[in-house]
Amino acid sequence: MTRFVLLCLLALISTAAAKGKGFGPGEQDYGYADVRDGAHMFWWLFHTTANVTNSSERPLMMWLQGGPGASSCGYGNFEILGPLDLNLEPRESTWVKDFNVLFVDNPVGSGYSYVDRLSSLTTDNKQIARDLVSLMKSFYEKLPQFKTTPFYVYGQSYGGKMAIEFARMLYDEVAQGNIQSNISGVAMGNSWISPVDSTLSWGPLLYEMSLVDEGGLEAINRQANYTKQVFDQGQFAQSTSEWARTQNVVFQKTDGVDFYNVINKVERGFLRSGRTIMEKAFDVQTITKHYSSRADSLDTLMNGPVKEALGIPSNVRWGSQSNSVFNYLNVDFMKPVTSVVESLLNETNINVHVYNGNVDLICSTPGQMVWINKLKSEATTIFQTALRRTIWVNNTMEGYEKHGGKFALFWINVAGHSAPIENTAATRHILKSMTGF
């Protein structure tokens, strides 16, 4: 074999090996788990860059995006907490500095996850949770060193609804000896836990912030109460449609307020963009004057260099929000999971945290307080009489916190729906409170 041929062969081997290293800096693992027949879920792990001998010495954090149908590997990673931002610049506030971060495109059909047939899409929260348990079984088989690592599940928006059900089911599977996992905590950020309570909060919050007048308040409340009426009658699919109509009233009465951060400025003409109300309401991009360019940039990134680096099948096209995933869950969409929160507090040793940005509308803090105050557990009884403390970071008031045993609530100042990127100082405090790091 000539020296030239040998060098060429070594170059080919080196190139092939590099393709398994992921996209961006640091040690990574990723792949698909066949969670059901015809259902393929994609996960992407960034090992921590903390100064440790083995990455498994630091906690494992799972991030679940909302929607339902939004991509954790795209939006959660590049827009919120991954090692690189959308401009592929190092993110100073990345969680990877302190933790191992596992992004999951969930439910199947979101992001890089895909199904062989539409009938394999999920239709309720319990099926989503079962898929996630199946994914973790596959994950631990590939990376067994994390079986004893403290595992925390963080879910934003609808991701919080999925996270709470998944944490409960995973705990039960561990107790039954079906999986080994050190599930230690779950956090719900600006989450869709009790949808009716959130929807009813919109009018009063907008009125108190002078974003609607009395006529606007009356119109929003009328439609929100009708949404509740339809839900109480058990017409769950229709209640999702009425929820969307409530949002339409809000858009009309505010001339297009940003549902994710009500103090954001909004570009004129957004409501005439040709997208449906549901797409506008739960699209993963913040509605700013840079809305279109940022969405296009993420799409180009995920369907170009990232897709190639991760070896995603050519027939899979990444999308920031899957309408099919959303539509298949329309019956389950407005159903609360407050009973699951109660069961975690009453029947497990899992820490349960709630955090909320104070200028979010879609999952507003007043709406969260309604369902939290209804919870019946020893932890929330302690919580009700506990002292609310101020979160001070570098002499700046970043929010407030209140603890009741294994339950805690964090109010985050000057932050909307994506609180972890809008107030990184408060987020670091929350992470330390949950994990000790």
Q: Which tens digit of pLDDT belongs to each residue from 151-190?
A: 999 999 999 999 999 999 999 999 999 999 999 999 999 9
pLDDT in tens, 35-53: 999 999 999 999 999 999 9
Q: Do 151 and 205 sit in the same domain of this protein?
A: no
Q: Do 33 and 166 sit in the same domain of this protein?
A: yes
Q: What CATH number did the domain enclosing 97 receive?
A: 3.40.50.1820
pLDDT at residue number 294 = 67
Structure tokens at 1: 């074999």
Q: 111, 98, 119: which is closest to 32 by C-alpha?
A: 111
The catalytically annotated residue of 72, 157, 320, 364 is: 157
Q: Do 158 and 207 sit in the same domain of this protein?
A: no
* Domain that includes residue 339, residue range: 19-193+333-435
277 pLDDT more than 70: no
Q: Specify if 141 maps to a domain.
A: yes
Q: Is 403 a catalytic residue?
A: no
The catalytically annotated residue of 40, 360, 377, 418 is: 360
Confidence band for 289, pLDDT divided at 50, 70 and 90: very low
- Do the Cβ atoms of 204 and 180 come closer than 8 Å? no
Of the two residues 6 and 338, the one the predictor is more confident about is 338
Contacts (Cβ under 8 Å, ≥6 apart) of 232: none
pLDDT at residue number 34 = 97
5 pLDDT more than 50: no
- Do the Cβ atoms of 187 and 132 come closer than 8 Å? no
7 pLDDT more than 50: no
Measured CA to CA in angstroms, residue 281 lies from 47, 55, 65, 328, 361 at distances of 33, 38, 15, 17, 10
The catalytically annotated residue of 417, 418, 429, 433 is: 417
Q: Do 151 and 216 sit in the same domain of this protein?
A: no
Q: Do 131 and 96 sit in the same domain of this protein?
A: yes
Confidence band for 269, pLDDT divided at 50, 70 and 90: low
380 pLDDT more than 80: yes
Domain end point (choices 267, 287, 307): 287
Provide mean pLDDT across the span 244-257. Answer: 95
Provide mean pLDDT across the span 135-156. Answer: 98
- Do the Cβ atoms of 332 and 127 come closer than 8 Å? no
Q: Do 402 and 283 sit in the same domain of this protein?
A: no
Confidence band for 293, pLDDT divided at 50, 70 and 90: low
Q: Do 147 and 248 sit in the same domain of this protein?
A: no
Q: Specify if 38 maps to a domain.
A: yes
10 pLDDT more than 50: no
Query: What pairing do the DSSP bridges indicate for beta strands 60-64 and 100-105?
Result: parallel
- Do the Cβ atoms of 334 and 51 come closer than 8 Å? no
Residue found by looking up tokens 């557990």 in the block = 377
pLDDT at residue number 278 = 46
279 pLDDT more than 80: no
Q: Specify if 308 maps to a domain.
A: no
Integer Cα distance of 297 and 305 in angstroms:
12
To the nearest whole number, what is the mean pLDDT of the chain? 90
pLDDT in tens, 294-303: 667 899 999 9
Q: How close are the terminal C-alpha atoms of the chain, in Å?
A: 54
Integer Cα distance of 333 and 125 in angstroms:
9
pLDDT in tens, 194-226: 999 999 999 999 999 999 999 999 999 999 999
Q: Is 172 a catalytic residue?
A: no
Q: Specify if 3 maps to a domain.
A: no
Provide mean pLDDT across the span 378-404. Answer: 96
Q: What is the pTM of this model?
A: 0.90
φ, ψ for residue 403, nearest 5 deg: -120, 140
Confidence band for 270, pLDDT divided at 50, 70 and 90: low
Q: Do 266 and 176 sit in the same domain of this protein?
A: no
Domain end point (choices 287, 315, 344): 287
Neighbours of 331 (CB within 10 A): 15
Q: Specify if 363 maps to a domain.
A: yes
Q: Do 44 and 158 sit in the same domain of this protein?
A: yes
Of the two residues 4 and 87, the one the predictor is more confident about is 87
Q: Do 74 and 174 sit in the same domain of this protein?
A: yes
Provide mean pLDDT across the span 222-242. Answer: 98
* Partners of 36 in the β-ladder: 39
Q: How many domains does the chain have?
A: 2
Q: Specify if 11 maps to a domain.
A: no
pLDDT at residue number 265 = 84
Q: Specify if 8 maps to a domain.
A: no
Integer Cα distance of 364 and 120 in angstroms:
32
Cα 279 from chain centroid? 17
pLDDT at residue number 296 = 79
φ, ψ for residue 55, nearest 5 deg: -60, -30
Q: Is 194 a catalytic residue?
A: no
Confidence band for 280, pLDDT divided at 50, 70 and 90: very low
Entry field: residues in the chain = 437
Provide mean pLDDT across the span 242-264. Answer: 95
Q: 77, 45, 72: which is closest to 61 by C-alpha?
A: 45
pLDDT at residue number 372 = 97
Classify each residue of 246-268 as buried b or exposed e, where b means 16 or more C-beta atoms within 10 Å of its C-beta: bbebbbebbebbbbbbbeeebee
Structure tokens at 292: 């279109």
pLDDT at residue number 322 = 84
Confidence band for 1, pLDDT divided at 50, 70 and 90: very low
pLDDT in tens, 335-352: 999 999 999 999 999 999
Q: Do 37 and 153 sit in the same domain of this protein?
A: yes
Q: What percent of the chain has pLDDT over 70?
A: 89
Q: Do 159 and 54 sit in the same domain of this protein?
A: yes
pLDDT at residue number 4 = 32
Q: Specify if 275 maps to a domain.
A: yes
